[in-house]
Amino acid sequence: MELLKHSEEENEESLKHFEEKIERGDSIEPRDTMPEAYRKHLIRQMSQHAHSEVIGMQPEGNWITRAPSLRARQILLAKIQDEGGHGLYLYSATETLGISRDEMIAQLHAGKAKYSNIFNYPALTWADIGAIGWLVDGAAIVNQVSLQRTSYGPYSRAMVRICKEESFHQRQGYEIMTKMIRGTSEQQQMAQDAMNRWWWPSLMMFGPHDSESPHTGDAFRWRIKRHSNDELRQKFIDKTVQQAEVIGLTIPDEDLKWNEEKGHYDHGPIDWDEFYRVITGNGPCNRQRIAHHKKVHDDGAWVRIAAAAYRERIKKQNDNQ
Amino acid sequence: MATDSQLEIWEVFMQSKSGANYIHAGSVHASDKRMALQNARDTYTRRGEGTSIWVVPATAIVASDPNDSEMLFDPANDKIYRMPTFYTMPEGAKAI
Ligand SMILES: [Fe+2]
Ligand SMILES: [Fe+2]
């Protein structure tokens, strides 16, 4: 996109505009002047978000051919297709900040850009597909609802679109869990086992405690982040506990109890050692996730090359006419 | 010989229902018009969000500079005679 400039305004002056806009709660648009650190922060956060949507297709994709019914297979396929779409919305929003999708993918492959740690865990049984939709998408929704009001316009608009699509993801997961818990004793065990394995990693999705990542950071000042990690985590716990109770699943936390005074659930300590072990590359699936992404990307190269060659040929034909 | 790339960026505009304005939805990557339309449909209309799509190469769009917004848009504010409320209508006149 080309910018048509009329006047050369001082950069300092337009940075003042930026601060004023943030102060007023206006959204920042791609062609507004913005501090370099704001741009960098967004590129890191948004590309990580995009990569998470795409890498997140892997644990679920693993179950498409093994879904227990045609209905279940159609639903899972549609859900995973949505996640691919979410990745595309977010890549396209990130590109407005001046980084190309090529660069973002190269950063992912080089390990410079991260994706959500949760996708380094495997989906072992069909109940895991239930737990992922209900808990992992459920946690992602809490975060994404908050990000609908983030200060960067294209990011905020992508979040609005994504949130509209997410509620079916969580419902389909909860429906699977409900069916399994009402099934045979073996199916009930599978559901509880999936719950036990996915609960804590889901809580970790919100990131370190606020005491470890202070409120006062740039992300808050620039209104990129609107709620703290612990606030969002609490919101997720409070609404999920009730849903677990309704279908008779036990939350694997002995310290979990309602705190009348606070009006929230208290929960036991999160194992951050495990979190850092997995996020630094030593989770069950880290290597497999990136290797698979690289392979699919490389296998698809001929399609992109052929499409570009076809465009060149058509252009030449038109030029010769 | 063409090399591997993520192809070109196209901006996508969608009409949600017949008679409505076309609104920017986002962008897609594609090598030509046809692929841009197909990708736009797959990416932005999985739930019947649209009845019609426009795709435009991103390089063909020209945008105003946000720093010029005062100069470009402020003059409208002092031409209040462009607003219907500026005028005094004689008492008793109807449907105007
Ligand atoms: Fe998603
Ligand atoms: Fe989702």
Chain B residues touching residue A4 (CB < 8 angstroms): 62-65
pLDDT band (50, 70, 90) for residue B1: low
Neighbouring CB atoms inside 10 A of A170's CB total 19
| Among candidates B42, B59, B71 on the partner chain, residue whose Cβ is nearest the Cβ of A7 | B71
Domain assignment present for B50:
yes
Domain assignment present for B1:
no
Average pLDDT on A184-200 reads 98
Chain B residues touching residue A309 (CB < 8 angstroms): 1-2
Answer whether B58's CB lies under 8 Å from B6's CB. no
DSSP secondary structure letter of residue A132 = I
Domain assignment present for B16:
yes
Q: Which pTM does this prediction carry?
A: 0.92
- Percent of chain A at pLDDT above 90? 88
Q: What's the gap in Å between the CA of A226 and the closest CA on chain B? A: 24
Inter-CA distances, A169 with A27, A38, A60, A81, A130, Å:
28, 31, 12, 11, 10
* Closest of A141, A129, A109 to residue A240, by C-alpha: A141
Contacts of A44 (CB under 8 A, 6+ apart): A113
**Token duo for residue A23:** 């102060």
ipTM for this model: 0.87
Average pLDDT on B18-45 reads 95
Q: What's the gap in Å between the CA of A29 and the closest CA on chain B? A: 9
B19 has pLDDT over 90: yes
A15 has pLDDT over 60: yes
Domain assignment present for B83:
no
Q: In A, what residues contact B, Cβ < 8 A?
A: 1-7, 9, 13-14, 17, 29, 31-33, 78, 81-82, 85, 88-89, 92-93, 95, 100-102, 105, 157-158, 161, 165, 301, 304-312, 314
pLDDT band (50, 70, 90) for residue A8: low
What digits encode the pLDDT tens for the residues A77-88? 999 999 999 999
A12 has pLDDT over 90: no
* Closest of A67, A286, A81 to residue A179, by C-alpha: A67
Inter-CA distances, A187 with A68, A100, A202, A253, Å:
13, 46, 22, 21
CA geometry: angle at A153 spanning A279 and B48, to 5°?
90
- Cα–Cα distance measured from residue B40 to residue B52, given in angstroms and rounded to the nearest whole number: 11
Q: Which residue has the higher pLDDT, B49 or A306?
A: A306
What's residue A215's pLDDT?
54
Burial of B55 (0-12, 13-18, 19+ CB in 10 A): buried
Average pLDDT on B37-58 reads 93
Domain assignment present for B79:
no
Nearest CA in chain B to A2: B62
Answer whether A170's CB lies under 8 Å from A82's CB. no
- Cα–Cα distance measured from residue A165 to residue A141, given in angstroms and rounded to the nearest whole number: 10
**Token duo for residue B19:** 């008679």
Q: Residue B53 is part of a domain; what is its CATH number?
A: 3.10.20.520
Supply the mean pLDDT for chain A: 94
Q: What's the gap in Å between the CA of A310 and the closest CA on chain B? A: 8
Domain assignment present for B33:
yes
Domain assignment present for B2:
no
CB contact under 8 A, B67 and A88: no
- Helix, strand, or coil (residue A266): strand
pLDDT band (50, 70, 90) for residue A213: confident
A225 has pLDDT over 80: yes
Nearest CA in chain B to A309: B2
End-to-end Cα spacing for chain A: 29
Inter-CA distances, A31 with A26, A27, A300, B4, B68, Å:
14, 12, 33, 29, 11
Supply the mean pLDDT for chain B: 90
Chain A residues touching residue B27 (CB < 8 angstroms): 92, 95
User: Which ligand sits closest to the CA of A133?
Assistant: 2
A321 has pLDDT over 80: no
CB contact under 8 A, B26 and A158: yes
Chain A residues touching residue B11 (CB < 8 angstroms): 1
Q: What's the domain count of chain B?
A: 1
Q: Which residue has the higher pLDDT, A217 or A149?
A: A149
Burial of A292 (0-12, 13-18, 19+ CB in 10 A): middle
Domain assignment present for B58:
yes
What's residue A214's pLDDT?
59
Average pLDDT on B1-14 reads 88
Best probe of the B interface among A20, A75, A79, A304, by most B CBs < 10 A, is: A304
CB contact under 8 A, A308 and B5: yes
A218 has pLDDT over 90: no
The sign of the torsion formed by the CA atoms of B10, B16, B20, B25 equals: negative
What's residue A211's pLDDT?
87
> In terms of residue numbers, what domain contains B53?
8-64
CA A133 to ligand 1 center in whole angstroms: 10
